[in-house]
Chain A
Amino acid sequence: MTDDRSRWPRVKEIFHSALACAPDQRAAFLRDRCGEDDALRDDVESLLEAHEDAGRFAEGPAIDALDSDEFLLHGGAPALAAGAEFGAYRILAPIDAGGMGEVYRAFDTLSVRGATRRGLNRLTHARTCAM
Chain B
Amino acid sequence: MLDEALRELGRIDERQARIVELKYFAGLSEEEVGAVLSLSRATISREWQSARAWMYRRMTTGRIPQA
Contact A126 B46 (CB under 8 A): no
Contacts of B50 in A (CB 8 A): 12, 15-16, 47
- Tally of chain A residues near chain B (CB < 8 A): 40
Q: Is the interface of A mostly helix, strand, loop or mixed?
A: helix
Q: Is the interface of B mostly helix, strand, loop or mixed?
A: helix
Contact A50 B2 (CB under 8 A): no
Within 8 A of A (CB), among B10-67: 11-13, 18, 20-27, 36-37, 46, 49-50, 52-57, 60-61, 63-67
Q: Give me the interface of A with B, judged by CB distance under 8 Å.
A: 1-5, 7-8, 11-12, 15-16, 19, 39, 42-43, 46-51, 53-54, 57-58, 61-63, 70-71, 92-93, 95, 105, 107, 120, 123-126
Q: Give me the interface of B with A, judged by CB distance under 8 Å.
A: 2-3, 6, 11-13, 18, 20-27, 36-37, 46, 49-50, 52-57, 60-61, 63-67
